[in-house]
Amino acid sequence: MFAPNWSAKAEYLYYDLGNSNAKMTMIGYDSADAGSDAYFNGSSTTFTSRFNGNIVRAGVNYHFNFANAAPVVAKF
């Protein structure tokens, strides 16, 4: 608490969800060789992505003093 009824907070979070890999293969067609197996593997590429990050949070709190409040008394 830095003043009566007031406090501050700070939080840091690092997360790492790992890697994701994907492979893409391009398939082509060779029209000059149409009599036999005309398909061939043109090229292949692998993509890798990493999922991680940082989160920083900060806040200020006000604490209400309900415990020391005067009780409500009914007057008849």
Q: What is the pLDDT of residues 37-63, one digit of tens each?
A: 555 656 788 889 999 999 999 999 998
Cα gap 10→63, rounded to integer Å: 17
Weakest mean pLDDT among 2-16, 23-37, 56-70: 23-37
Select the more confidently predicted residue: 4 or 57: 57
Q: What is the pLDDT of residue 38?
A: 57
Q: Which pTM value belongs to this model? A: 0.48
Q: What share of the chain is helix, strand, coil (3-state, %, to 5)?
A: 5, 65, 30
Angle at 47 between CA 40 and CA 38, to 5 degrees: 5
